[in-house]
Amino acid sequence: MSESRTTPRSGTSGWMHAGWRGTFYPRDLRPQDRLAFYAARFGSVEVDTSFYRLPARRSALAWSRSVPANFVFTVKASRRVTHVARLAAPDLELTALLRSLEPLGERIGPILFQLPPRWPCNTARLAAFLPRLSRDFRYAFEFPDPSWWSAAVYEPLARYRAAFCIRDAGTGPSPMEITTDFVYARLGGPGTPSQGGYGARALDDWAHRFSRWSAQGRAVYCYFGNHESCHGLRDAAELASRLASPARSASLPMGPERRSAHAHVA
């Protein structure tokens, strides 16, 4: 990373949610113009449709042309890799995923592998998968099952400079484990998953953590998934406002965090 500090990026998972029409997006805004509207207000988005279907190259190219040069797309990997093959997908699947993202060019950020919610820890499968990934991209791994939250997983992630995805899915946050030179966080809401908004105190706490990690030289990507009633949009905007004013959160007490003993910082 060329800069010692970069502003953390706050956004949402996806930008085409039906409930945003007439609330966030003007009712007469064409669907193909929504990304540009979104990108004028946020610096990053997590592409979530790629979990179900890889984007056509022409779609990815249109996305790239719709956003400013400094906008960042992070991308959720195909469920064929994570949920069907459970990290044992053939090389053809991985190649197809990476090729579909080529039109995004320098706007591509980390690729997220979200593992199944009830798949218990399989360190052998993870250890075999990590060396197969192209070094041309960065990667984050989300582990919904707590059996993965251990040093046996953090160590191989750190060795291959992959991030442990910090998550908050309504039952409390995962460990604040830092395994590489960037942080990837997914915040699903403080109550029932995908519902409810974060209060001011919770957003202050997250802003302080992200500002601290950013000041240490780490890129930070945070995405909200609590889309009902546009809570995620409001939370992302509120967090972005706090992150734009580091002094506001600098005096707050630091929340729990842990840097992996194996973490590598470029």
The tens digit of pLDDT for each residue in 175-187 reads 999 999 999 999 9
At residue 169 the predicted structure's pLDDT band, cuts being 50, 70 and 90, is confident
The predicted pLDDT at position 246 comes to: 43
Angle between the N-to-C axes of helices 200-215 and 231-243, in degrees from 0 to 180, rounded to the nearest 10: 50
Tell me the HSE value of 56 on the side-chain side, using a 13 A CA sphere. Answer: 3
Share of the chain above pLDDT 70, in %: 88
Domain positions in the chain: 9-259
d(CA 235, CA 230): 9
Is residue 252 over pLDDT 90? no
Element holding 95 (H helix, E strand): helix 91-101
The predicted pLDDT at position 259 comes to: 57
Q: pLDDT averaged over the chain?
A: 89
Of 157, 145, 203, 150, nearest to 183 by C-alpha is 157
Cβ-contact 74, 110 below 8 angstroms: yes
Cβ-contact 261, 225 below 8 angstroms: no
Fold (topology level) of 9-259: TIM Barrel (3.20.20)
d(CA 7, CA 215): 9
The predicted pLDDT at position 193 comes to: 56
Cβ of 65: how many Cβ atoms within 10 Å? 10
d(CA 75, CA 54): 10
User: Is the pTM of the predicted complex or chain greater than 0.85?
Assistant: yes
Is residue 196 over pLDDT 80? no
Task: List, in sequence order, every beta strand (DSSP E) within the chain.
Answer: 9-12, 44-47, 72-76, 108-114, 139-142, 163-164, 166-168, 177-178, 182-187, 219-224, 258-259
Highest mean pLDDT among 1-10, 144-153, 192-201: 144-153
Q: Which of 11-15, 31-35, 89-93, 107-111 has the lowest mean pLDDT?
A: 89-93
